[in-house]
Amino acid sequence: MKTLILSSNGPETPSIAAEIIKSGELVAIPTETVYGLGADGLNPEAVAKIFLAKGRPQDNPLILHVAEAADMEKFCHNIPQAAYILAEKFWPGPLTMVLPAKDCVPLETRAGLPTVAVRCPDNAVTREIIRLSGVPVAAPSANISGKPSTTTAEHVLHDHDGKIAAVVDGGPCRVGVESTIVDLTEDRPRLLRPGGITPEQLMEVLGDLVVDKAVVAQIDKDAVAKAPGMKYKHYAPQAEVVIVAGSRENAAAYIRSHFVPNDRVLCFEEELPLYSGCNPLSYGREADTATLSAGLFAALRELDSPGIGRVYARCPDGGGIAYAVQNRLKKAAAFRIIDPEVEV
């Protein structure tokens, strides 16, 4: 099929995209986090097309995108007070809540779980598309499964040109990493994935937050994860990524002494002068961590090329959005981290 490229400024774009969704086909949509591969979340056949296009394992559930907060009541029940407070404070925005699912949500969308993930995205055109389609839009990140996420329409076309009905081009995504996911179905709220809404912001509202171990360590592929998708390899370019911790100077000394031709260095803009001759690629400024989250996936995609040996990556410290960047980079590196300051 020919993939339509629709500008998000086009006056007809919301109605054209909504018609495609109603007809059971796929449309890639821009959000503030990453581009999503959207379909009618109540139509199991449409949802099956998402899994097929991405090569996504069937047991990895999708997020339902709604046009307004009140819509969560259509798809979830036993909604705790905390969900209303979080929605009031952070929606539309990069926060996904896991809540008990109503029967109207097909098992295909939630991968057989009794719960469903919902989010109201902060992109006016995408919300208008959802509103006009009259259904919640199921949309995982639009990348091929396992690969770095899509933060531009070009990334989407690279992975799906000719395989999906349309992409809505809304320019580069502002946040650049996927939404924060918080599970509200247990006794204590649980962070399943860090993102644009930070743990600090959640704590301020909830007063309590358990960080799931999938956020900080690699889950064994045979282990039971809170959502099965959490145990899959994620965000990885073809090359082996290794995070090098430590001070700027110690990391540069380590990398420069181990670097061989065809390796690459993924670093902060401030560090570029330390890596002359090592083909460095910056993904943003360490002093402004929002630029790191916005630039990470485009950089990982640039490094997703067969000729590259090893990628030595520098990772920001600290909380806020840096916490989400650490999580994605560590997963891309399969938790391979070298600290030259403790190496013997």
Q: Which does 198 bind (CB under 5 to 8 A by kind): Mg ion, ligand AMP, none?
A: none
Q: How far is the CB of 306 from ligand AMP (least distance, A)?
A: 24
Place of tokens 């949802």: 47
* 183 vs 271 by CB, closer to ligand AMP: 183
- Bridge partners, 37 (sequence order): 28
Q: How far is the CB of 81 from Mg ion (least distance, A)?
A: 30
* 141 vs 326 by CB, closer to Mg ion: 141
Q: Helices 199-206 and 81-90: crossing angle, nearest 10°?
A: 130
- Bridge partners, 313 (sequence order): 243, 266
Report the C-alpha gap between 46 and 288 in whole angstroms. 40
98 binding ligand AMP? (CB under 6 A): yes
Indicate the SS3 state at residue 179.
coil
Report the C-alpha gap between 155 and 132 in whole angstroms. 26
31 binding ligand AMP? (CB under 6 A): no
- DSSP-assigned letter for residue 101: B
Q: How far is the CB of 13 from Mg ion (least distance, A)?
A: 24
- Bridge partners, 117 (sequence order): 63, 98
Report the C-alpha gap between 246 and 339 in whole angstroms. 6
Q: Which does 47 bind (CB under 5 to 8 A by kind): Mg ion, ligand AMP, none?
A: none
Q: How far is the CB of 309 from Mg ion (least distance, A)?
A: 26
Which residue in 184, 230, 239, 243 binds ligand AMP (CB under 6 A)? 230
141 binding Mg ion? (CB under 5 A): yes
173 binding ligand AMP? (CB under 6 A): no
* 216 Ramachandran zone, left/alpha/beta (phi>0; psi -120 to 50): alpha
Q: Helices 153-160 and 289-302: crossing angle, nearest 10°?
A: 30
Report the C-alpha gap between 28 and 140 in whole angstroms. 10
Query: Looking at 64-72, 126-134, 140-148, 250-258, which segment touches Mg ion (CB under 5 A)?
Result: 140-148
Query: Looking at 78-86, 137-145, 269-277, 294-302, which segment touches Mg ion (CB under 5 A)?
Result: 137-145
Q: Which does 53 bind (CB under 5 to 8 A by kind): Mg ion, ligand AMP, none?
A: none
181 binding ligand AMP? (CB under 6 A): yes
61 binding ligand AMP? (CB under 6 A): yes
Q: How far is the CB of 148 from ligand AMP (least distance, A)?
A: 11
* 230 vs 294 by CB, closer to ligand AMP: 230
* 324 vs 333 by CB, closer to ligand AMP: 324
* 35 vs 275 by CB, closer to ligand AMP: 35
DSSP state letters, 182-217: EE-SSSS-EEEE--SS-HHHHHHHHS--EEPHHHHS
Contact call for residues 244 and 255 (beta carbons, < 8 A): yes
Q: Is 181 exposed, middle or buried (0-12, 13-18, 19+ CB in 10 A)?
A: buried
110 binding ligand AMP? (CB under 6 A): yes
Q: Which amino acid is at 20?
A: I
Which residue in 27, 67, 87, 113 binds ligand AMP (CB under 6 A)? 113
Residues in touch with Mg ion (CB under 5 A): 141
Residues in touch with ligand AMP (CB under 6 A): 60-61, 63, 98, 110, 113, 115-117, 140-141, 178, 181, 183, 192, 226-227, 229-230
